[in-house]
Amino acid sequence: MTAILLLQATNLSRMDFMPINDGALARTLATSSDAGLRHNILVVDDDSGIRQVLRVTLRAFGFEVAEASTGEQAIQLTAKCLFDAVLLDMDMPGMGGVPACREIRSRFPLLPILMLTVRDRHEDKLDAFRAGADDYITKPFHMSELATRLRAAVHRANMAQEAPR
């Protein structure tokens, strides 16, 4: 099976992808349906190339994908549509990822928010978690790991919503 591999170029704002043969990735794709459910993911990144690669690849993993290019758009979309999780970049013009995370978390306490960023400083991670992020993934990353983390976050949120109060 041919899959998509993300390669991080020297220029961190540019991601390339190329077809590869990867047995583990193929197995992950083949078992990615979660009993036929297609989780609705909001991808928030100001870089249209990154959004495009994430859209194509996450759809191949069985996710539905909506996109926003700013934190403000993400907040508007989460108010209008039901999402199973949000992938949120840290560095965006206008409202950055941390304030957007904080606002989305205040409105939707159980919605999984995964930060997806080139920032790998300890302080940045702490800021994101303090703002309400559930996970923190640094670029470059493996798509199979991202898909697995998304599924785990959605599963935990669903279990929390179903738990008796």
Q: pLDDT per residue over 118-138, tens digit each? A: 999 999 999 999 999 999 999
Q: Containing domain of residue 61, as a range?
A: 35-162
pLDDT of residue 16: 38
Give the DSSP H/E element, type plus range, for residue 114: strand 113-117
Residue 60 falls within a domain, yes or no? yes
Report the predicted TM-score, pTM, of the whole model to 2 decimal places.
Answer: 0.79
90 and 96 Cβ atoms separated by less than 8 Å: yes
**Bridge partner residues of 44 (DSSP):** 68, 88
Residue 15 falls within a domain, yes or no? no
67 and 55 Cβ atoms separated by less than 8 Å: yes
Residue 26 falls within a domain, yes or no? no
Strands 135-138 and 113-117: parallel
Residue 70 falls within a domain, yes or no? yes
What's the number of domains the chain is made of? 1
Residue 100 falls within a domain, yes or no? yes
86 and 40 Cβ atoms separated by less than 8 Å: no
DSSP H helical ranges for 61-164: 71-80, 97-107, 122-131, 143-162
Stretches in the chain below the pLDDT threshold 50: 1-35
The CATH number of whichever domain residue 99 belongs to comes to: 3.40.50.2300
Residue 155 falls within a domain, yes or no? yes
- Residues 63-95 as b or e (16 or more Cβ within 10 Å = b): bebbbbbbbbbbbebbeeeebbbbbbbbebeeb
Residue 8 falls within a domain, yes or no? no
